[in-house]
Structure 1
Amino acid sequence: MAFFPKARWLVIGICALACVGVAAWGWHLYTGHTHGGLVLFGNVDIRQVDLGFRVGGRIESVLVDEGDTVAAGEPLARLDADILRQQRDQAAARLAGQKADLARLERGYRAEEVAQARAQVAAARAVAENAAINLQRVTAMRQSNAISQKELDNARAADREAAARLRSNEDQLDMLLSGYREEDVLAQRAAVAAAEAGLRRAEIDLADGVLRAPQKGVILTRAREAGAIVQPGQTVYTLTLTEPVWLRAYVDEPNLGRIRPGMPVRVAVDAAPGKTFPGTVGFISPTAEFTPKTVETREVRTALVYRLRVRAEDPENVMRQGMPVTIFVDTAAP
């Protein structure tokens, strides 16, 4: 009969020791794994990206669904590209025409045009020479009163007209020999550059007809289906970025000097009991704020804290948006 009181006290003693052990373990986690460690509490802050086409059109096909894991550069959806291809072809044809005009200007006038101009100069020179000879003859005849003054005036006018026509034809020949003006060539080169830019833009628009994942992640929302008409920038998918995983936490002012960007940390989550994940302090806010209601700290709620971001590794993909985390900072680390 005396055994039962002793056993009862033994059980009570074991339970007390267990409670003390649990309390000690909790305090050990709370104060850090190493001497001088710091424990912070925060939440997983998964980043999301709204994805849409940079050009408008009709969606031809959607290639992934909600919950699918996608890699960087993987196609997610496609637009009907008929109009985009036509615009690309028009831009290419416009560029070809501008390049042809530039080649014509840089090459100069054709040999046939130069030969024709030379022939016109030769004909004009013959007419001018004949007009000069006729003027000399008429002038001599007028001195002997063999002809009237009117005939002399007509001969002089014909001589001036023939000389002017000769100079005009010679100027035309010089222009053909020297080629087009430099200003015309420069203007055409600018037109070619503009056409090239237009073609590049059309090619970019055609490439943008395929929506691709910018980073590795998981499709959270599929907002549009095949056949829908979308405007540029309209959301088609919402993508959650799984790498890197960012954690949002807060440090109180007394411990602010114990933490700095680049320090290594260990992260514990309830979804993976007994495990910790490596991470790095990435950012500490330069301004203070009041403690958010969702954050646990050892100080009162009105204490000022500083927001910080931690970049964590999640090889097992257990961290989810808003999940509470415990961050252990070894402040003794260099």
Structure 2
Amino acid sequence: MNKKLIVVAVVLGLSAIAYFGFFSKHAADSTTTIYGNVDIREATLAFRTGGRVAEVKVDEGALVKKGDVLATLDTEPLKNSLQSAAANLAALTARNAMIHTGYRQEDIEQAKARVMVAEAALANAEKQFSRQSALVTEQATTQHVLDDVRSARDQASAQLKVAQQQALEMQRGYRKEEIAESDAQLAQARANLASAQLAVRDAVLVAPSDGIVLTRVIELGSMVQAGSAAFNVSLTKPVWVRAYVPEPQLGLFPAGAHVTLLSDSRPGKPYHGVVGFVSPTAEFTPKSVETTDLRTSLVYRIRVVVDDADVQLRQGMPVTIRSTQ
């Protein structure tokens, strides 16, 4: 009888040890395991300039690398605009240099010569006027002739003032307002040339990151407007997992913590990642992804960057996240 009691006690003891070991293990696992969903970014790509589609190099489902050319526009009209902008810049550059340098010495000498000619003309007109004035006094000519001579003298005087003013302006050089205007026109021409160069470069649409082409909107030969969608691309790098951590487990998933991620599509082959972001504020668990009990729980959103992601991780896929601490 005593032997039976001893056997029963041993069996109960072993059962208790196994029971508590099993549940303590699962309890420990439950405190280091959370659940989330794959969050892959998508980008809508568009030309920054408008034009006719000259070439389409990829189609839906194509794998692209960062910098790959996806499509190009006809650059002929853009190059014409570029040449026009370059010619306009060259003309304004030459004019700006002339304005900053001032008038040539030859031009100044010519202006001085015109002053001398105007002075001689005025002197001759003064003599004619004096002569005709004396003749009118002696009644040897008419008043009409004297009026014509006076008008000629006045015109010669005005022309001399104009010539003197022009010579003075040439000696002083261009006004500061004219120089400022020329500088502004030159700056505008340079900006126009830069815009034309950028338009030529923007005629080539490249992939901003590694990804998969989801949709193609443009067709060969079609006209596109600046900013209109051309492709939708799913970016494969980086791949994130968005998860929600209850406050008691928050210490197990700090920023920088290494974790493993399991998916149903690759059982027994975990992915590896690093917690890249932990929200500073609590929120209610999204109703679309959690159970009824957890919907009313306050949690903290985290983002895990997957280090070894592959094509099997797809948008929205559920994953199990375990802390390696």
- Whether these two folds match at TM > 0.5 is yes
- The answer on 1:325 being equivalent to 2:324 is no
Residue 318 of structure 1 deviates from its aligned partner by 2.7
Match runs of 1:6-25 below 5 Å: none
1:12 maps to what in 2?
Answer: none
Partners of 1:308 and 1:255 lie apart in 2 by 12
> How many residues are treated as equivalent by the alignment?
305
Residue 80 in 1 paired to residue 100 in 2?
Answer: no
Task: Report the 3-state secondary structure (helix = DSSP H, G, I; strand = E; otherwise coil) of the residue aligned with 1:274.
Answer: coil
Letter in 1 for 2:184: A
The code of the aligned residue for 1:113 comes to D
SS at match of 1:215: coil
Alpha carbon RMSD of aligned pairs, Å? Answer: 3.7
Residue equivalent to 2:166? 172
Task: Give me the whole-angstrom Cα distance separating, in 2, the residues matched to 1:57 and 1:222.
Answer: 17
* Amino acid paired to 1:318: Q
Task: State the SS of the aligned residue for 1:283.
Answer: strand
Unaligned runs of 5+ in 1: 1-19, 33-37
Equivalent residues in 2 for 1:183-222, closer than 5 Å: 183-222=177-216
Structure 1 residues 152-185: Cα deviation after superposition (integer angstroms, max 9, x where no partner): 9999999888666545433321211222222112
- Equivalent in 230, 245, 264 of residue 239 of structure 2: 245
TM-score relative to the length of structure 2 = 0.77
> What secondary structure is seen at the aligned counterpart in 2 of 1:83?
helix
Shift of 1:329: 2.0
One of 274, 284, 289 as aligned partner of 1:280: 274
- 1:98-137 Cα deviation digits (max 9, x unpaired): 2232233233334443222121222344456678899999
Q: Measure, in 2, the Cα distance between the counterparts of 1:268 and 1:25.
A: 22
Paired residues of 2:260 and 2:323 also in contact (CA < 8 A): yes
| Preserved contact between residue 284 and residue 306 of structure 1 (Cα < 8 Å) | yes
Alpha-carbon distance in structure 2 between the residues aligned to 1:200 and 1:96: 14
Aligned counterparts of 1:154 and 1:245: Cα–Cα separation in 2: 96
Question: What corresponds to 1:292 in structure 2?
Answer: 287
- Correspondence 1:252-267 to 2 at 5 A: 252-267=246-261
| Aligned residue runs from structure 1 range 105-254, under 5 A | 105-126=99-120, 166-254=160-248
Task: Name the counterpart of 1:30.
Answer: 29
* Paired residues of 2:285 and 2:294 also in contact (CA < 8 A): no
If the length of structure 1 is used for normalisation, what is the TM-score?
0.75
SS of aligned partner of 2:231:
strand
Q: Does 1:58 align with 2:57?
A: no
The one-letter code of the counterpart of 1:224 is I
Counterpart of 2:13? none
More displaced 10-residue stretch of structure 1: 164-173 or 46-55: 164-173
Q: Partners of 2:299 and 2:239 in 1: how far apart?
A: 22
Q: Which of the residues 28, 36, 43 maps onto 1:49?
A: 43
**2:307 equivalent in structure 1:** 313
- The 3-state SS of whatever aligns with 1:247 is strand
Distance 1:273 1:177, change over 3 A: same
Contact 1:72 1:216 in 2 (8 A): yes
Q: 92, 101, 125: which is aligned to 2:86?
A: 92
Structure-1 separation of matches of 2:160 and 2:50: 63
Aligned counterparts of 1:162 and 1:228: Cα–Cα separation in 2: 69
Distance 2:24 2:251 in 1: 26
1:26 to partner: Cα distance: 8.4
For residue 64 of structure 2, the aligned residue among 63, 70, 87 is 70
Residues 176 and 76 (structure 1), Cα distance of their counterparts in 2 relative to 1, 3 Å cut: same
Change in Cα spacing, 1:169 to 1:110, as seen in structure 2 (3 Å) is same
Identity %: 40
Q: C-alpha displacement at 1:41, in angstroms?
A: 0.3
Other structure's SS at 2:305 match: strand
Shift of 1:307: 2.1
Contact 1:291 1:303 in 2 (8 A): no
Q: Secondary structure at the match of 1:198?
A: helix
- Taking the aligned partners of 2:41 and 2:184, their CA distance within structure 1 comes to 44
Q: Which residue of 2 aligns with 1:17?
A: none
Change (3 A) 1:154 1:74: closer
TM-aligned CA distance change 1:134 to 1:57, over 3 Å? closer
Q: Is the 8 A contact 1:289 1:305 kept in 2?
A: yes
